[in-house]
Amino acid sequence: MIKRTLYIGNATRLSVQHDQLSIKTDSIEKTVPIEDIGVLIIDHYQTSVTHAVLHKLLENNAAVITCNDKHHPTGLLLNLDGHTQQSEKFQAQIEASSPLKKQLWQQTIKAKILNQSAVLEKWEIDNSYLKRYAQLVLSGDASNQEAQAARYYWKVLFNEEDPFFIRERFGAYPNNFLNYGYAILRATVARGLVSSGLLPTLGIHHRNKYNAYCLADDIMEPYRPYIDHLVKKIMIEVEEQELTTDIKKRLLNIPNIDLKIDGKDSPLMVGLQRTTASLAACFEGKSKKILYPEFS
């Protein structure tokens, strides 16, 4: 079943009534089955949440995102007990060898660059450089093809819409669109990792001691081009450069984006579950390949 993404952007009281999320504002009152929720985003300082809401959401493996005063996602709450064999899977992840991690990172970066290449092809932009970079990715991406591909990719992707665009985490438009979309994606990836019995903290490449979601940042890489493609569509269709409610609504639909993975069509959230399950299988020695989507 496709899980829903809920966005709370007004002063709201959230509580639980008979396993339903009760949503009350000055003008509306409605309920949503908690089992249908995949991601809840709280983006208003005057929203109150009961402990029962958090308990029920986490019990159903939903991700809860909180936003700051600039409306950017800054916090993520996840279930700590998302799989029946979690201890065994944790152990396999912890004991994963360095050569295995390097091979998995090679697969990840090659998949990312190929999807970036496919995005450029979709927009009729020369992608020959990226195709070549993808074939040169070594174990652990030792020659850093990811960075070389990124330099070309960001130079040409938004060139028609903004010839002076520079991809920066805290940069000007459309970085704000990209960052918001990536935050939604990151939460969705983290949720998938937990449900597959993995620790989002222990990455295969990212190792920042201050980052609690290193593995999520690793695994989301081949999915990022789907966000880039969506943002480019928004830039063409909408002149607004701020994160309006309508633009947020479009970005909140990211978990439902259609994609193809292992030859089968599925929503992004479902595809991610296949990716994280395949990663767990790699850690356990049951597989040698992570299943990543192919942009088309």
CATH code, domain carrying 91: 1.20.120.920
pTM score, whole prediction: 0.89
Distance, in Å, from the CA atom of 47 to the CA atom of 44, rounded to the nearest integer, reads 6
Residue with tokens 């999520």: 216
Q: Is residue 215 part of a domain?
A: yes
pLDDT in tens, 229-271: 999 999 999 999 999 989 999 999 999 999 999 999 999 999 9
- Residue-number span of the structural domain to which 41 is assigned: 4-77
Asked whether residue 189 falls in the same domain as residue 278, the answer is yes
Return the pLDDT at 210: 66
Total structural domains within the chain: 2
Give me the pLDDT at residue 76, please.
87
Say if residue 289's pLDDT is above 80: yes
Residue 142: what are its φ and ψ, rounded to 5°? Answer: -60, -30
- Sign of torsion, CA 81 82 86 89? negative
Task: Tell me the mean pLDDT in the region 74-92.
Answer: 78
> pLDDT tens-digit profile of 25-74?
988 899 999 999 999 999 999 999 999 999 999 999 898 999 888 777 78
Q: What is the CATH number of the domain that holds 67?
A: 3.100.10.20
| Percent of the chain with pLDDT strictly greater than 70 | 97
pLDDT classification of 83: cutoffs 50, 70, 90:
low
Tokens of 151: 């330099």
- For residues 108 and 232, give the distance between their C-alpha atoms in angstroms, rounded to a whole number: 23
CA distances from 261 to 57, 181, 279, 294 (A): 28, 20, 14, 6
Return the amino acid letter for 232.
K
> In the structure, what pLDDT confidence band is assigned to residue 99 with cuts at 50, 70 and 90?
very high
